[in-house]
Each structure stands twice: as structure tokens, then as C-alpha cells.
Structure 1
Amino acid sequence: MTENITPDETLDCRGLSCPMPMLKLKKALKSMAPGTVLEMMGTDPGTTNDIELGAKKQGGEYLGNKEAEGYISYYIRKS
């Protein structure tokens, strides 16, 4: 599913610990147009637990994630 997603913007949260990725996600989604897709790259394992609910709370739709070398990419569409 996520292999076919082309993000409109990328947010690099690698190396950041909770709650910073969620705070940066909130800020990024505020400035995005509805329907656009954000790729958020992260290394904090806690992000995987928080991302779906966090995206929904910030007006986004969690589309899934993809593991890469040393990090995970999370995909969120601005509602």
C-alpha cells in the first residue's frame, strides 16, 4: 500500500524522541493544504504507537508506514 504513495512534503524527525515527532507533525499539518500527503521519517519506537491517533487529532489520515534502513517512514494525508 505505502509503496505507491508519493509524498508532497517530507518531515525528518530521525533522532528525535517523544513528544517532539508529534509536535513537529502538528506544526507541519497546519501549513499543508487538504489532500496533500506528508512523509514523516522517525527513529523513536514510540512514534509507531502514537502516530495513528496523533495524525487523527491533528486533522490527518494515517495511511501506513514503511521501514527503511535505520528509520520508519509514516505517511499522513491532510484531511
Structure 2
Amino acid sequence: MIDDPAQWPEPLMREHPRVALIETDSGEVISTWDRLVCGQDPSYLPALQEAWAGKSIVIVDMDTNELLRVVDQVKK
């Protein structure tokens, strides 16, 4: 385990240490991860954005709400 963020291998990890996976249509939080404490953040509540792709799973920064990646289109 690397405790020092300066040693994390990916710049994206350093720029966005707290992330969440969110299902865009329902707003359901699928998972969160806080690299600063090496654990989940069950208190996180997403701020859904109209600009997020519908029927998708997105990765967002929990602190800035910045969209980092659209992971998948949900097939319903």
C-alpha cells in the first residue's frame, strides 16, 4: 500500500483521490473509494448532472463532482 499520494503511479489518482461510480438514470451510488483513507465513503451523496450520459455508469470526483469517465452504457 502506498500511503504518500506523491508516489501514486497515475496522475489521475493524485488529482482525484476520492471517486464514485454512479448509475446516471437512478442516481444510485454503485461504489465509492477514498484513496486518502483507503476505504469507502458511505456518506457520499451524488449531485446528478444533466450533462452526464443517460443509461450509463460514470466515475466522478466526490469532491468536485467532475465527470472523470463514462464506464459503460447500461443495457435495459
Q: Same fold (TM over 0.5)?
A: no
Taking structure 1 as the reference length, what is the TM-score of the superposition? 0.26
Taking structure 2 as the reference length, what is the TM-score of the superposition? 0.26
More relative contact order, 1 or 2 (CA 8 Å, 6+ apart): 1
Which structure's CA Rg is the greater one? 2
